[in-house]
């Protein structure tokens, strides 16, 4: 019986925009990344060090840095060096910025947030 319940839950949780579902499953697949994407959406012209970004996000630098680097790998963030210091900022690519905007707008809906949380937790297994 649990298998049928699990299948039903999975189908219910997959009932969302396929583009946003893929975005959550493959790019914003942790709560830290979600916080970072939200921060940069709210501050789209910010370019800063990992230390300051971690402080603004209320997170530990050692937890934030690998997540930022994954967001760079996934073309959501850009990383450049200022001397020897890495500086991170949201990409300037309009398609990606539109996708980030679509994700953040969808997060205003409680049902979407529940589904996104479900997929993030499920991906942590």
Position 123 scores a pLDDT of 84
Position of tokens 């760079």?
72
pLDDT tens digits, residue range 49-72? 999 999 999 999 999 999 999 999
Position 34 scores a pLDDT of 98
Give the C-alpha separation, 5 to 32, whole Å: 29
Report helix, strand or coil for 62: helix
Alpha-carbon separation of residue 74 from 6, 9, 86 (angstroms): 30, 28, 17
Q: Is the model's pLDDT at 2 over the cut of 60?
A: no
Q: What is the arrangement of strands in the sheet containing 77-82, beginning at the earlier edge strand?
A: 47-48, 85-90, 77-82
Position 13 scores a pLDDT of 66
Mean pLDDT for the stretch of residues 3-11: 59
* pTM across the whole model: 0.88
The candidate with the shortest Cα–Cα distance to 115, out of 30, 29, 16, is 16
Query: Which residue segments constitute the domains of the chain, with CATH numbers given?
Result: 2-124 (1.10.10.10)
Position 5 scores a pLDDT of 58
| Structure token pair of residue 64 | 């934030």
């Amino acid at each position: 019986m649990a298998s049928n319940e699990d299948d039903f839950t999975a189908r219910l949780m997959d009932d969302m925009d396929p583009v946003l579902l893929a975005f959550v499953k493959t790019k914003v697949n942790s709560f830290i990344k979600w916080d970072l994407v939200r921060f940069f959406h709210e501050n789209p012209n910010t370019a800063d060090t990992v230390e300051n970004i971690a402080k603004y996000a209320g997170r530990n630098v050692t937890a934030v840095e690998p997540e930022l680097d994954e967001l760079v790998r996934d073309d959501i963030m850009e990383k450049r060096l200022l001397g020897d210091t890495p500086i991170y900022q949201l990409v300037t690519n309009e398609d990606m910025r539109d996708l980030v905007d679509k994700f953040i707008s969808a997060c205003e809906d409680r049902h979407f947030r529940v589904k996104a949380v479900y997929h993030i937790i499920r991906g942590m297994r």
